[in-house]
Amino acid sequence: MLAAGKGSRFDASGTRYKPVQALADRTPMVYAVCHTLLQHIAHVTVVCGPQEQAVHSALGDLPVRTVHCTEAHQGMSASLRCGVQSSPASVGWIIALSDMPFIRAETVSGVASRLRQGEQIIRPAYQGKPGHPVAFASKFRDQLLGITGDEGARTIIRRHPDALTVFTVNDPGCLIDIDTVEQLQRHGTGEQ
């Protein structure tokens, strides 16, 4: 789970670190995402940047592993590479984002089960729009380790359209990311 970004659209001053901001029920976003992931994934690694201690505190006693990404300032791809390097996978990786706290457990289950069944790249879609989390089979390790910039793994998806499995979910939360304080206030209850 990626939680190392600066979140400059959320708070340009850098005083409010986005992943640890509370939802309406006072749950930090990073905690909400990890709690959902843990319902269907045995091992969750949280990739942190300079605010690792704040993330660690927000996670409380959740049984997750945190890793510090020293190159987080280089963008999402650096965080993704760090997560893949620090999490050897027998089957693959499910890439989740700390600013998407409204994804339902059933969506994570659908992604995880398809990965376990041998699908190569898995992505949920709500009303025809591609969502998150996205999974990659372990055969994509070298390509994941080679990504650069802030585009994340989209280039791999574009490069391998035949390997992509998209499945429909009844989960608007798979599309909602919190990029601004206003979005947190608007979506903070989880209502869409």
With vertex at residue 148, the alpha carbon angle to CA 155 and CA 93, rounded to the nearest 5 degrees, is 65
**Domain-located, residue 139:** yes
**Domain-located, residue 185:** no
pTM of the predicted model as reported, rounded to 2 decimal places: 0.90
For 183-189, the CB contacts below 8 A with 24+ separation are 184/10, 184/21, 184/23, 187/102, 188/23, 188/24, 189/23, 189/24
Q: Give, for all 192 residues of the chain, the pLDDT tens digit.
A: 998 866 555 655 556 678 888 898 999 999 999 999 999 999 999 999 888 899 999 999 999 999 999 998 888 899 999 999 998 767 999 999 999 999 999 999 999 999 999 999 999 999 999 999 999 999 999 999 999 876 679 999 999 999 999 999 999 999 999 887 787 887 765 444
The answer to whether 96 and 132 are in contact (CB under 8 A) is: yes
Report the CATH number at residue 165: 3.90.550.10
Range of the domain at 101: 2-180
Q: How many domains does the chain have?
A: 1
